[in-house]
Amino acid sequence: MKKVVKFGGSSLASAEQFQKVGSIIRAEENVRRYVVPSAPGKRFDGDTKVTDMLYDCYETAVKGTDFAEKLEKIKERYNEIIWGLKLSLSLDGEFEKIRELFAQGVGSDYAASRGEYLNGIIMANYLGYEFIDAAEVIFFDANGEFDAEKTNKILSAKLRKIEKAVIPGFYGSLPGGQIKTFSRGGSDITGSIVARAAKADLYENWTDVSGFLVTDPRIVKNPEPIETITYRELRELAYMGASVLHDEAIFPVRSEGIPINIRNTNDPSAPGTMIVENTCKKPKYTITGIAGKKGFAAINIEKDRMNSMIGFGRRVLSVLEDNKISFEHVPSGIDTMSVFVHQSEFEAKEQKVLAGLRRELKPDYMDLDSDLALIAVVGRGMRATRGTAGRIFSALAHANINIRMIDQGSSEMDIIIGVANSDFENAIRAIYDIFVIAQL
Ligand code: ASP
C-alpha cells in the first residue's frame, strides 16, 4: 500500500498544525510515503496566507521600493514554525537568495512558489524524508502548459529510487528552467501528479473540512457530508461552484484509476469523502449534492417552424461566438429556444448580440430574462430512481418558487433548474429538505 498525502495551507499554518500532520504521517509511516505540502495558510480569521505575502512583497520589490520589512515578516512565519518544532534548521541562506532574486525582478511565479518550497524544506527536515525540488520533476512546456508526459516519465523514475520524499506543491519549471506556478490552489494538482507518478493506491488530500458536503454550509446549516462521490459527479458540482479541490486536480489520478480521499487534518478520525471513478455503493440519498450559481441571463428566441429549420441552433450560437460569449444551457421547445449566458459577460455586449441575432435569424419574437440562478441537483442514484424530478418540482412549488428553466443532462446524473436569483437560497434549502432531511 502506497499513499501520496497532500496537506493544504491551513494544515501547515503553524507549528501546532505541523505536529498534527506529523502524527497523521507517522500513523501510517510506511504507507504515507510521499508528502506534498502547500505554503503556510491562515492561522486565524483575518490572517494572511504566506503566498499572498510573497506576491505582495514581490510587487513592492518590482516597484523599486524597500521590501526588506515585508520579506522579514515572511521569514518570521517560517521561523515560528521551525522554532515551534524545535528543529535545528536555518533558512537564512534561502532568504538571502530570495532577497537577491527579488531585487533582480525574478518574476512573480518564482516569488509565489517560495511559499511551498520553503515549507517543503521544513517538512522534509521535520519528517526525516528526502526533499525533492518540484522544479526538477514537474514540467511545463514552452507555451506554459503543464507537460504531463515529460513530468510523469522523470518523476516516476525519480520516485522509484526514493522511499520517502517531500515534494512541494504549486510549481514546476519551464523548458528554460524558470519557475512557473499552477493557478491558485494548485498544490492539489501537484499531489495528483505525484500520486500518478508513484502509482499510489490512494491520493489523500488533507484540508480543514471533513470532505465534501451535500450542499453549501453557508446556505444550509450543517449539511450532511458526502461519503463517496464519482469523478463525474464531482465535475458537475465543482463546475456549479462547489469547491474543496482544485478543478484540474482530478485528471492525473483519474487517468490511472487512483481514488482521492478528502480528509480533515483537524479531525483525522473522520473518514472524509472518497472520490472514485465508479462505485456500486448505493449513495445514502438519491442525490449526491446540490450546487448552484447566480448571475445568469436568458435570451429567449421564438420563430415559427424553427424546429424544421436546419442550422438554426448553430446560427444562434455562432452569433454568441462572434461576440466571444460562452453559453451555459440551451433549453429549446418546438418554436422556441433560450440561451443562458453569464449576465456579467453578456451585459456589455447585449445590444450587439441582439442585433446579430436579429440579422442572422429574423426571429418572430425575442426577449431577455435577467437575474437568474442555476441550480444543479447531481446524483448517480437518479438514474435508477423514479420521481426525482417530480420531487424537486413539488418541493419548489411548496416553497413558492417559480421554476424558470429545467434541463436534464443526457447522463441522467443531473437536473439543472433555473430560478430567480432571489429564490436561489430558498430553492437549495427546499431541495435539501426533501432529499436529505426527509430521509434522515
Ligand atoms: N499556496 C498556493 C495558494 O495559496 C497554492 C496552494 O495552496 O495550493 O494558492
Q: Is the C-beta atom of 432 inside 6 A of ligand 1? A: no
Of the candidates 81, 93, 59, the one whose C-alpha atom is nearest the C-alpha of residue 7 is 81
- Measured on CA atoms in the order 116, 118, 122, 127, is the torsion positive or negative? positive
Residue 112 CA, ligand 1 centroid: distance in Å: 9
CA 246 to ligand 1: nearest atom: 8
Q: CA torsion 414→420→421→424, rounded to 10°?
A: -50
What was the pLDDT predicted at 194?
Answer: 98
CA 8 to ligand 1: nearest atom: 7
Of the candidates 16, 29, 19, 14, the one whose C-alpha atom is nearest the C-alpha of residue 5 is 29
Of the candidates 90, 107, 122, 104, the one whose C-alpha atom is nearest the C-alpha of residue 15 is 122
Going by CA atoms, what residue is nearest to atom 8 of ligand 1? 185
Q: Is the C-beta atom of 120 inside 6 A of ligand 1? A: no
What was the pLDDT predicted at 195?
Answer: 98
What was the pLDDT predicted at 411?
Answer: 73
Q: Is the C-beta atom of 170 inside 6 A of ligand 1? A: yes
What was the pLDDT predicted at 244?
Answer: 78
Mutate to test the pocket of ligand 1, among 12, 49, 247 (most ligand atoms within 8 A of CB): 49
Q: Is the C-beta atom of 187 inside 6 A of ligand 1? A: yes
What was the pLDDT predicted at 413?
Answer: 87
CA 185 to ligand 1: nearest atom: 8
Residue 38 CA, ligand 1 centroid: distance in Å: 6
Angstrom distance (rounded) from CA 344 to CA 294? 11
What was the pLDDT predicted at 395?
Answer: 95
Angstrom distance (rounded) from CA 236 to CA 409? 10
What was the pLDDT predicted at 263?
Answer: 96
Residue 271 CA, ligand 1 centroid: distance in Å: 24
What was the pLDDT predicted at 241?
Answer: 73
> Which residues of the chain, if any, have pLDDT below 70?
none
Q: Is the C-beta atom of 184 inside 6 A of ligand 1? A: yes
Over its C-alpha atoms, the chain yields an Rg (Å, rounded) of: 25
What was the pLDDT predicted at 327?
Answer: 93
DSSP 3-state assignment of 119?
helix
Angstrom distance (rounded) from CA 25 to CA 124? 12
